[in-house]
Chains A and B, each alone.
Chain A
Amino acid sequence: MSDRSLHSANAAPWKSLESLSGAVDYKESEFPEEGPMAENVVSRRGFMTIMSASMALTAAACRRPEQRLVPSVKSLQTAIPGMPLEYASVYTKCNVAYGALVKTREGRPIKVKGNDLHPINTGRTSAEMQASLLSLYDSDRLRRPRVRKGGGGTSYDNALLTIAEGIAEAHASGKKAVFVVGEHASPSYAALMQHISEAIPTITFVTMPSIAANNAAIANRAAIGIDAELVPDLSKAKVIVCVDADPLGADPLALYHTTKWSQRRKPVKANKSMSKMIVAEAQYSLTGGNCDERIKLHPSQVEPFLAVIEKEIAGSAALGSDVAALASAEVSKHAMETASALKGAVGESYVMAGRHLSPRAHAIALNINNSLGNVGAGSVVDPSMQIPFSGDKSVAISALTADLMADNVHMLAFCDANPEYNADRAFRTAMMKAPFRVAINLYEDETAEVCNVSIPGTHWLESWGDAVAFDGTLSMQQPMIAPMNDGVASVQDSLMRIALKVGERVSIGTLPFTAEQKYADFVKNRWYTMMSASVSNTDAAWRKTLQDGILIMPHMPAASLTFNGAAAAQLSTGQYTSGRVVAIAPSLSFYDGQYSNNSWLQELPDAVTKIVWDNAALMSPATAIAIGAAKNDDPKELALASQNVVTVSTEHGSVNLPVWVQVGMADDVVAISLGYGRTAGGAVSMNVGANGFALASGTNTTQYMPLKNISLVAGTKYRVATTQNHHTLDDGRGERPVAKWVSFHDVQTGHLESLEEEFPNTGKDGKFLIPISIVPDYEYKGHRWGMVIDMSACTGCSSCIIACQSENNIPVVGKDQVLIGREMHWIRLDRYYVGDMSNPISLNEPMLCQHCENAPCENVCPVAATTHSPEGLNEMTYNRCVGTRYCLNNCPYKVRRFNFLNFHDTEKSPLDLVFNPNVTNRMRGVMEKCTFCVQRLHEAKWHARDAGRERITDGEAVVACQEACPAGAIIFGDTNDASSRVAQLRNEDRGFKVLSELNVRPQITYLAKVRNS
């Protein structure tokens, strides 16, 4: 710097470093030298003043320098950061394949949806299918192999080597090496197993379902020569009779059945028709709750009921005249009425026998359907619709048990099978006879604990595979993410490597794969070979199969059937024990407990009982009184019965469970859900409920077992957690019901007065009255979001709850918090009973934020954290919420959910990867509720804007619950768009609004349930 001192009074003012250094400032001449500038010298005091002031200003406005930071992005080649990618895959429930679409963000799956192109589930999903996503990230999963034999350790290679040596030993000693595999629908897996056992005859494969039900296949084999289960199309049936069957509830086909059944359950102005469903059952199933006429039967009368129908319809060709003779007079009367209903729908009806019923019962049902002309190509029962790999497995399993008992098995391996938990005592005893046991399961479960070697299995979202649906549609299972265990490959990969390693030790036949190849290559090669026969460009066809997720295989028309009555009449019948029986049923939330270490499913309320985090001994009021759990049938007293714990025992074993009084059940029946009472396999599922498999038989898990003993456990005071108050039967609200139903007759004749609103009004908006108001209505100029929910189609399957939970990062709170009443679900399924307490039907009312126009929550918030959007959304601004909870108190629907604690704190890594990055995770002290998936609305708008459109068209914005709903009962859209489905449906005759008399003006229209009775 120059020697001019800034402090000198003579120093000239300077503007820049250039001027200071003597460089010529060309603008200098702008101001004359003698001007005021020259006088404006900076004095010492002045300088200090300016400096201190500017220092103070700098400190007050300390900002980061405005510079652009360029992050180093290591992005996926195919992915744009922030944009979701969806891949098609396939989810297999037992041996039923459902098309899946998996949404991934930055390489991690965050949502499982249905694949629209897949004909079985047509884009819909079940609760379990969606929740299986959480199990992918389960921190309790087995991470690395564990070897408890020889050198031990956790090396994958060593584990495989140990197994191969075990097989070699078996080979040497002339014994068997048996792989017990779980149910699947994969042709490639089946081919792989076949190849291996052909090359290495020492190895045999036995498929072992967790819930054994072979009787349908046995009956079909005898009667029509098909060793498989047939799948009916309920949308083609006008009259459906379910005899102790639960097609809409805990059935692997429930997702499919619900989509089909619901198609004929929605009478609208344009098409006032609907099916009629009659359910005869002993338990109170989800199907029973949704039926039109329900006949309550003691288990001993179930098959006689079916036989009487058969006698009425098939006459002399009846297979069950001996069984029909056992029916009581009253049951016969009901059966005859049912038969006449069936006769009125020849060719358009269906009788379904429960999976657990005897082979003869299944044959009888088939005979009825056949006699009514419901069987045949294109009919309700199309014989080509066979569930793959659904043949009778009981013979193979009993043969294995015998082999084990005879010490003929040296090595026993379990792949995705957990018999230590779910098999009967005979098999569990037998399996311990095998000297060398191996498990390849997702978790270190009960079976893995008793095995010498345990290898982690892989989740369906992280491994290759394929699955064929019962209609022949083939889908590829694509991995979305590298295995979340420590890099251990899939079960099939492990099998391939084991086989190759065995080949290094003993001489074997040829294997159709090499050491370099993976199972993915095996699957690909297999389908390439098959496709190349019919397609010219195999690469493109393969890519399209992966892209679409489906490959429709040429459909094989069914050969004409001959009904072999003589063989069918020889089939065994059930044991018709009178007296008390135990009914064992798959859990509505997680079937057999494979995914029971899944907190979403544990906290998903049972669709019938609304119990979470527990199973219970369900019984009728009279039975509860008879065993001393309740004093009388006062609802309060019956609710208190759940504090009792009972010991329930059958010939197979006994369990301790809390009592739960379930209205509508037959007396002398104790129903127990499977899937609980895990003793290994993850902290979430441990010690939740009791294991119902302990009571069950091995060959037919869900068959009725005679109750040996039931006794109260003295001195217990148990607390069962439910999300809905127990005594909602008699709520004293007869005059103003909140969930409405009408009869089909009323719909046909147009007598829907009970749905009409009645309050002071200023006219009508479509079907609905406009309440008087002192403030002018808000005018919605752009979109106006609304929803219609068809209660007639809703079965209560709860898929929407998990869809919402997954989409909106809703935390799980645990049993303790549910007991207090702090569950967080944004959408819940309110279940109300109608009818007599001894035999009611249920109304399912999905309840979520109604996005009221006159929202009572909005005006009471002191900090304006909940406000109304110009598009009619009731918005919740989490950042602004201070948590006064006033909005919650003032919400008449009680759909607001408060974060009482930091519920997300309990999620261990990698569980946090499951979150949807488009939705904020809420901290404690903040209110939350349904947003109508506002993040999806925005996304749809961005896409529309990119395409140069101002508005989004109907169907572009799909909310999560709507997307998942198997029944298509939820319709969302823009009610300002007259052509939208929602705008049309909201003016349907059946429409009503919940609590509209409060003048809150909800945006959700419910269509009343129709009961066709």
Chain B
Amino acid sequence: MTVDHEQQIRTNGHSYEEPVREILVMGHPTLHDVTSRIASIVESKLSIKYLLTLSVTLSMLGLGVAALGYTIMTGIGVWGLNNPVGWGWDITNFVFWIGIGHAGTLISAILYLFRQRWRTAINRSAEAMTLFAVACAMSMVLGHTGRQWLFYWLLPFPNQMQMWVNFRSPLMWDVFAVNTYGTVSLLFWFVGLVPDLATLRNYVRNSFARKIYSFFSLGWTGSHRHWHHYEIAYMILAGISTPLVLSVHSVVSMDFTVGILPGWHTTIFPPYFVAGAIFSGFAMVMTLLIIAREVLDLKQFITLKHLDNMNRIMLATGMMVGYAYAMEFFIAWYSANPWEMWIFQNRAFGDYAWAYWTMISCNVIAPQIFWFRKFRRNIPLMFVISIFINIGMWFERFTIIATSLHHDFLPSSWGYYTPTWVEVSIFIGTFGLFLSAFLLFAKFVPVIAIAEVKAILPGSQPSHKHEHGHAHAEVTGH
């Protein structure tokens, strides 16, 4: 492809683009610009700033590993859990992280199937986030059991004990749901990466790095045949992932709904949890993207248009969870079940009222500001709101778990739960894991899907007005 050709596409594209639809890549880069802009991140030297940040996140991870090690050596007793409250920060964090992962799948799979082209700028990092979040969530479930070294008993495998797992247990469903989710997300992410890894293979000068990229690009040559298979594979994986967006968190919510505890035993949970997961996932993507956009200078690709769209989704899902909160109260009252009525009254005005109102403020009230376009495009503001939503969604899970458990049926067994430094450290550790992984990803893997972005450059898509079909092949063939 010649520079002239690219120039032509660019100018043509500019003139053909519909004025109403905002362009998704700013600054009219050429195809080469896109490649070099994104691939250069991999080639550039490690900056002090990067290393400092990484050392901080690795320290957090180290703290978490140490705290988890201490837990495994001593017992779950080093946490604050007690007899009425058997789950606390452990499962709160698990649900929180699983929820975070949902944005990635939603963006990758559902938005892909719906041909939402704006997703291309953010899908790669969102998918990576999904993977890292699932890893964090898995570390929480594996770490939360009393005898962590027997974690494999949760897997159905033939064994000398002749014991099979209990398929009636929602925790068992969780094992399948989360494992499926992790596997599919990894495959989806990796398949999407193959063309870009090939690009990097061609781009990098370091021979060692080239070998690595070469290995992982699976001999990609960019042939039409490759592209053909790639598109099919990607479409199939997107198809497989799509139900997972709905199923994983539905299954997670069944950990609670199958229980007979007032505050857990409600049918609204599956949709409510899915909405909440997308809500929290988008908030987390938002938080990270705003930082990445600044630090890695990706404003060209991650435009205000993207952020605006994400804010709209957050507004919508935030209203959904708000509706669910209200509906829980309505049903509790409508059921005339004294246990239900009491538990919700206790949720809002009991010992954990502070957690409940933190959740309401962060999840329901804060996102309302996104009704206004001005605020949807105000970066510092949306950054703050996204953090609020992260906090609020964590508290949502905490409220569901801790307030329902600490005061249940028999008043004689009521208790109160306060976490210890160990649990806090483990939570910090999961953030360490998440952020460290994200930093490494951002440095060594193309954070933006190069091939896909090229497809949404102005003029790169086929148009009924002019020479469609021609540009498409050219663009993707790079």
A residues in contact (CB < 8 Å) with B: 724-725, 728, 731-733, 735-736, 738, 817, 820-823, 828, 830-832, 845, 847, 856, 859-864, 880-886, 888-890, 892-894, 896-902, 923-927, 994-995, 998, 1000
Which residues 166-187 of B have a CB within 8 angstroms of A?
166, 168-172, 175
A–B pairs, 23, beta carbons within 8 Å: A733-B342, A738-B409, A821-B415, A822-B83, A832-B412, A860-B171, A860-B259, A861-B166, A863-B165, A881-B147, A885-B76, A885-B86, A886-B169, A890-B261, A892-B409, A896-B83, A898-B146, A924-B75, A924-B146, A925-B145, A925-B146, A925-B147, A998-B409
Contacts of A897 in B (CB 8 A): 83
**Complex-state Cα separation, A56 to B423, whole angstroms:** 47
B153 within 8 A of A: yes
Contacts of B151 in A (CB 8 A): 882
Contact of A894 among B83, B166, B339 (CB under 8 A): B83
- As a 0/1 sequence over residues 357 to 386 of chain B, the CB contacts with chain A under 8 angstroms (1 = contact) are 000000000000000000000000000000
The answer on a CB contact under 8 Å between A894 and B169 is: no
Contact of A735 among B77, B79, B338, B408 (CB under 8 A): B338
| Contact A863 to B411, CB < 8 A, known contacts A886-B169, A998-B260 | no
**Complex-state Cα separation, A822 to B339, whole angstroms:** 24
The answer on a CB contact under 8 Å between B147 and A860 is: no
Top 9 nearest A-B pairs by Cβ distance? A883-B146, A925-B146, A900-B77, A821-B82, A885-B86, A901-B77, A830-B412, A894-B413, A925-B147
Instruction: Give the residue among A817, A823, A885 with the most B Cβ atoms within 10 A.
Output: A885
| Contact A890 to B260, CB < 8 A, known contacts A880-B163, A885-B81, A898-B83 | yes
Contacts of B323 in A (CB 8 A): none
**Complex-state Cα separation, A733 to B338, whole angstroms:** 7
**Complex-state Cα separation, A163 to B172, whole angstroms:** 72
B333 within 8 A of A: no
User: In the complex, what's the smallest C-beta–C-beta distance from A925 to chain B, in angstroms?
Assistant: 3
The answer on a CB contact under 8 Å between B408 and A892 is: yes
The answer on a CB contact under 8 Å between A925 and B153 is: no
B144 within 8 A of A: yes
**Complex-state Cα separation, A893 to B413, whole angstroms:** 8
| Contact A820 to B172, CB < 8 A, known contacts A733-B411, A901-B74 | no
**Complex-state Cα separation, A48 to B171, whole angstroms:** 50
- As a 0/1 sequence over residues 131 to 152 of chain B, the CB contacts with chain A under 8 angstroms (1 = contact) are 0000000000000111110110
Chain A residue, CB-CB nearest to B171: A862
Chain B residue, CB-CB nearest to A998: B260
**Complex-state Cα separation, A821 to B79, whole angstroms:** 12
Further contacts, 15 of them, CB under 8 A, given A860-B171, A861-B169: A728-B412, A817-B77, A822-B82, A823-B83, A831-B412, A832-B412, A860-B259, A862-B171, A881-B147, A884-B146, A884-B171, A885-B87, A886-B171, A889-B259, A900-B82
B80 within 8 A of A: yes
User: In the complex, what's the smallest C-beta–C-beta distance from B340 to chain A, in angstroms?
Assistant: 11
- As a 0/1 sequence over residues 243 to 271 of chain B, the CB contacts with chain A under 8 angstroms (1 = contact) are 00000000000010011110000000000
The answer on a CB contact under 8 Å between A883 and B410 is: no
Interface size on B, residues (CB 8 A): 53
The answer on a CB contact under 8 Å between A902 and B260 is: no
| Contact A724 to B154, CB < 8 A, known contacts A883-B145, A901-B75, A924-B75 | no
User: In the complex, what's the smallest C-beta–C-beta distance from A490 to chain B, in angstroms?
Assistant: 41
B164 within 8 A of A: yes
Give chain B's interface secondary structure class: loop
User: In the complex, what's the smallest C-beta–C-beta distance from B236 to chain A, in angstroms?
Assistant: 31
B314 within 8 A of A: no
Chain B residue, CB-CB nearest to A817: B77
The answer on a CB contact under 8 Å between B163 and A889 is: no
The answer on a CB contact under 8 Å between A862 and B172 is: yes
User: In the complex, what's the smallest C-beta–C-beta distance from B260 to chain A, in angstroms?
Assistant: 5
The answer on a CB contact under 8 Å between B77 and A890 is: no
Contact of B75 among A862, A902, A927 (CB under 8 A): A902
Contacts of A821 in B (CB 8 A): 82-85, 415-416
The answer on a CB contact under 8 Å between B166 and A859 is: yes
**Complex-state Cα separation, A793 to B445, whole angstroms:** 73
Which residues 423-451 of B have a CB within 8 angstroms of A?
none
Chain B residue, CB-CB nearest to A859: B168
User: In the complex, what's the smallest C-beta–C-beta distance from A18 to chain B, in angstroms?
Assistant: 39
B16 within 8 A of A: no
Chain B residue, CB-CB nearest to A893: B410
**Complex-state Cα separation, A995 to B165, whole angstroms:** 29
B405 within 8 A of A: yes
The answer on a CB contact under 8 Å between A892 and B410 is: yes
The answer on a CB contact under 8 Å between B74 and A862 is: no
User: In the complex, what's the smallest C-beta–C-beta distance from B426 to chain A, in angstroms?
Assistant: 16
**Complex-state Cα separation, A883 to B81, whole angstroms:** 13
Contacts of B261 in A (CB 8 A): 889-890, 892
| Contact A864 to B83, CB < 8 A, known contacts A924-B146, A995-B409, A1000-B260 | no
The answer on a CB contact under 8 Å between A893 and B409 is: yes
Contacts of A924 in B (CB 8 A): 75-77, 146-147
The answer on a CB contact under 8 Å between B153 and A863 is: yes
Contacts of B80 in A (CB 8 A): 820
User: In the complex, what's the smallest C-beta–C-beta distance from B295 to chain A, in angstroms?
Assistant: 40
B414 within 8 A of A: yes
**Complex-state Cα separation, A925 to B147, whole angstroms:** 5
Contacts of A885 in B (CB 8 A): 76, 81, 86-87, 146
**Complex-state Cα separation, A387 to B216, whole angstroms:** 91
Chain A residue, CB-CB nearest to B166: A864
Contacts of A880 in B (CB 8 A): 153, 161, 163
**Complex-state Cα separation, A894 to B85, whole angstroms:** 10
Contacts of A847 in B (CB 8 A): 410, 412
**Complex-state Cα separation, A352 to B243, whole angstroms:** 75
Contacts of B413 in A (CB 8 A): 725, 830, 893-894
**Complex-state Cα separation, A888 to B85, whole angstroms:** 8
The answer on a CB contact under 8 Å between B175 and A736 is: no
Chain A residue, CB-CB nearest to B351: A636
| Contact A863 to B339, CB < 8 A, known contacts A733-B411, A832-B412, A899-B146 | no
Chain A residue, CB-CB nearest to B401: A889
**Complex-state Cα separation, A817 to B75, whole angstroms:** 13
- As a 0/1 sequence over residues 66 to 93 of chain B, the CB contacts with chain A under 8 angstroms (1 = contact) are 0000000011111111111111000000
The answer on a CB contact under 8 Å between A882 and B146 is: yes
Contacts of B78 in A (CB 8 A): 901
Which residues 35-94 of B have a CB within 8 angstroms of A?
74-87
**Complex-state Cα separation, A995 to B337, whole angstroms:** 13
Contacts of B338 in A (CB 8 A): 733, 735-736
User: In the complex, what's the smallest C-beta–C-beta distance from A625 to chain B, in angstroms?
Assistant: 23
User: In the complex, what's the smallest C-beta–C-beta distance from A773 to chain B, in angstroms?
Assistant: 14
Chain B residue, CB-CB nearest to A887: B86
The answer on a CB contact under 8 Å between B170 and A860 is: yes
Contacts of A902 in B (CB 8 A): 75
Contacts of B146 in A (CB 8 A): 881-885, 898-899, 924-927
User: In the complex, what's the smallest C-beta–C-beta distance from B188 to chain A, in angstroms?
Assistant: 27
**Complex-state Cα separation, A882 to B172, whole angstroms:** 13
| Contact A900 to B81, CB < 8 A, known contacts A847-B412, A864-B165, A886-B171 | yes
User: In the complex, what's the smallest C-beta–C-beta distance from B69 to chain A, in angstroms?
Assistant: 15
**Complex-state Cα separation, A628 to B153, whole angstroms:** 56
Contacts of B339 in A (CB 8 A): 736
| Contact A862 to B169, CB < 8 A, known contacts A738-B409, A885-B86, A889-B259 | yes
Chain A residue, CB-CB nearest to B258: A860
The answer on a CB contact under 8 Å between A820 and B412 is: no
Contacts of A901 in B (CB 8 A): 74-78
Instruction: Give the residue among B77, B83, B153, B408 with the most A Cβ atoms within 10 A.
Output: B83
| Contact A856 to B76, CB < 8 A, known contacts A731-B411, A863-B166 | no
Contacts of A1000 in B (CB 8 A): 260
Chain A residue, CB-CB nearest to B411: A731
**Complex-state Cα separation, A859 to B165, whole angstroms:** 11
The answer on a CB contact under 8 Å between B408 and A725 is: no
Contacts of B411 in A (CB 8 A): 725, 728, 731, 733, 738, 832
User: In the complex, what's the smallest C-beta–C-beta distance from A54 to chain B, in angstroms?
Assistant: 23
